[in-house]
Amino acid sequence: MLSPRIFQVVKKPDVAVVGILFTIVAILAGAKSVHYLFFHTMAELFAIVVSLSIFILTWTSNRYLTNGYLIVLGGAYGAIGVVDIFHTLTFKGMNLFPGVSTNYPTQFWLTARYLEAAALLCAPLFISKKPNFFSISAGFAAIAAGTCVAVMYQWFPDTFIDGVGLTPFKVYSEYVIIAMLMVGFILLYRRKHHFEPKTFFLLVTSLWLAVAMEFCFTRYAGFYDFTNELGHYFRFLSVALAFIAIVLSGVRQPLELIFRELDEHQRKLDVANENLTRSETNLKKQINLLSTLLKNLPIGVFMVEAPSGKPLVVNDTATRLLGRGILPDATKQNLAEVYQTYKAGSRDPYPPEEMPIVLGMSGVTSHVDDLVVEKPDGTKSLLEIFGSPVKDDQGRVWASLVNFADITQRKQAELELARSKNRYQGILHNMMDAYWRVDANGRIVEANQAICQMHGYSKEELLQMSISDFELIESAEDTHKHLEAIMREGHDAFESQHRCRDGGIIDVEISASLAFDAPGNIDAFHRNITERKRMENQIREMAFHDSLTKLPNRRLLNDRLTQAMAASKRSGFYGALIFLDLDKFKPVNDNHGHEVGDLLLIEAADRLKACVREMDTVARFGGDEFVVMISELVADKDDSTAQARNVAEKIRMALSEPYCLTIKHDGKADTTVTHGCTASIGVALFVNQVASPDEVLKWADKAMYQAKDSGRNTFRIYGEELPETFVNSASAAIDCVAGKSHDEV
């Protein structure tokens, strides 16, 4: 919706315009009281004159218009006005063209309205552009000419039938035109910021009057109906407001802009004059400043005339560097003569014919950094010279600006730096720690002998590779994070794994930092820690695994049980702990020795691992006691119990098979011992409980004693009903905890 503030654009000077519009409407109303045909002719003539005025005004002012919307309207209204002339001349009652039916004026009317709706629909698309006015005018004129020919030959459907009224084609066409106008309004409203508020208000009002006009022309039954009359009022006001909008944008505002620009130019001219006066004063100050600056520059400066080589400007530093004894009056002495004076002291003197090149008088900038001069006091200096040509407007070299500096100390520093670099390179390449330098893309740009030996590549091969060629896939992401940390913090230390040329994997400890002498590069020192990692893993294995069976020991079992119970509490799934003791194990040790007993324990461990999933845990609890932990059963207790029964039975059957144990003897034939050994098994289930791992172990242990009391080679589940003959199992558990063996029990 339009903002109420939009009506604030109507000011007192515009009241006269509003008065003129209403006066014309009153004149038309008076003409209606005389004769409708007179009213129609007057209304159309007013609209036609305004339409053609819009076209002419846009034609004359389109170079001032920056808004393409107004240019499109102006170009279209010329063709619209011409078509409206045909509509007026063929109107019923004019009788200017014999044999012309009532269809002609109505069809001419539709043609003009379609053209107007098309213009209002397309115009918003050109708001931020400036289309060619003559191309727009020619396009609409061509469309108008074609449709007028179609009307004259009656290629259009009937639009009005005497005695019947408007045809459906005429009514539907008016609604199509209304739809086009509504779309044009939406497009215009979205781009309202391109218009002055008053211009936008006039254009929107003109567009809505056009919509009201079209609606009126869907309602009349005869040419002299009131709705036909009201539509012509709206028609005139719509075109008039569009005319006023273009006048505001095309004439009044450009003129205001021109005078405003003249005032601005005058103001800028006054400011320029004032600045010019100040510039003259500043110029004198700048000349003095430049003279002082030139005098105190730490480099020598010559302005040399070409091609004579006569100095035009010489500062004090040049005199000091060249020596006052040889250059008493530089402004009178030819620079070539000065050069020849020092020629004997130069390590690579230039012949006189090369002097123009050295001094830049040949037209190109020259650079010399090896001029050795020997002053009268016997001291020598190394000078660096830059010669730049000074050209006139025709591009001819008329002078050369020569500046030079004593670079003796700099050259000595560069020499010392080179020596330090050589020492650094020698130390780096002979050190025992492996080293390489990589650029920002990870490419290796430097490497020492130790890194070559560590990875098995030559230095030439390494310099063609990047760190990604060595990293394992699982280490690449971590390495990338460490590189980011180095770029952010300046240094980092971390461990990684590298693949060597022979395919072997080594563990490396890396200390890396940003290179101080090459921004973006990284210096990395490597140390092979494969053996250390192997020993750490071995120690860890010994701490958490049984040395005989290689199964997890009691410490690792407790840790995994704690984790399994926490996971069970979160998921609601049951877990099971199976505690088992080998029956009649003691006779094996007594009859055949501990070596055979160890073989039996190893075989039992292998059978247990084959009975459970890889995710489950089989641990040696101590002696001939083993614990199997089964995690992630199901949420239902009965189903979980059934699964635990199946596993326990599977274990019982596997362990009850005879053991064929082979004993190896040095220098003698191997012997085989066959022994039958069953197991007593106790099962305890856990889920979402507050019990500790030790309590769950006690439950399973208690169930195991119940199985042993029931005759061995069986299993019992903790918490199930037992016969009275097994009530002594609790005291048996207490005796075990007190230190008695299962066989004694």
| Angle at 161 (CA atoms; ends 156, 165), nearest 5 degrees | 115
Q: Where are the alpha helices (DSSP H) in 573-690?
A: 586-592, 594-611, 637-656
Local confidence band at 362 (pLDDT 50, 70, 90 cut-offs): low
**Same fold: 297-406 with 416-535:** yes
Q: How confident is the model at residue 172 (pLDDT cuts 50, 70, 90)?
A: confident
Question: What are the tens digits of pLDDT across the range 458-494?
Answer: 888 888 888 778 777 666 667 777 777 787 877 888 8
Its sign, for the CA torsion 610, 612, 618, 621, is: negative
User: Thinking of the domain 12-258, which architecture would CATH place it in?
Assistant: Up-down Bundle (1.20)
Structure tokens belonging to residue 455: 């990875």
Whether the CB-CB separation of 578 and 683 falls below 8 Å is answered with yes
The highest-level CATH class for domain 297-406 is alpha beta
Q: Most confidently modeled of 78-87, 441-450, 624-633, 733-742?
A: 624-633
Topology of domain 547-737 in CATH is Alpha-Beta Plaits (3.30.70)
pLDDT digits (tens, 9 = 90+) for 297-312: 777 777 777 766 676 7
Domain locations in the chain as residue ranges: 12-258, 297-406, 416-535, 547-737
pLDDT digits (tens, 9 = 90+) for 394-437: 878 777 777 777 777 787 777 887 777 777 666 667 676 788 88
- pLDDT of amino acid 646: 93
Please tell me the distance from the alpha carbon of residue 90 to that of residue 82, in angstroms, as a whole number. 13
Judge contact between 182 and 207, C-beta under 8 A. no
Element holding 471 (H helix, E strand): none
Check residue 6 and give its pLDDT: 38
Residue 475: what pLDDT? 63
Q: In this predicted structure, what is the pLDDT of residue 3?
A: 41
Q: How confident is the model at residue 444 (pLDDT cuts 50, 70, 90)?
A: confident
| H/E run at residue 412 | helix 408-430
Q: Is 530 left (phi over 0), alpha (psi -120 to 50) or beta?
A: alpha
E strand spans, 310-467: 311-314, 366-374, 380-391, 397-406, 434-438, 444-447
- Please tell me the distance from the alpha carbon of residue 727 to that of residue 711, in angstroms, as a whole number: 14
Q: Give the residue carrying structure tokens 């003698």.
A: 668
Average pLDDT, the chain: 75
Q: How many CB atoms lie within 10 A of CB 289?
A: 11
- Mean pLDDT is lowest, of 189-203, 339-353, 600-614, 713-727, for 339-353
CB contact set of 717 (below 8 Å; sequence gap of 6+): 641, 644, 645, 648, 682, 683, 684, 685, 703
Q: The domain 416-535: what is its CATH number?
A: 3.30.450.20
pTM, 2 dp: 0.36
Chain-centroid distance of CA 78 in Å reads 52
**Region 630-642: what's the mean pLDDT?**
90
| Burial environment of residue 723 by CB neighbours within 10 A (0 to 12, 13 to 18, 19 or more) | exposed
Strands 165-166 and 160-161: antiparallel
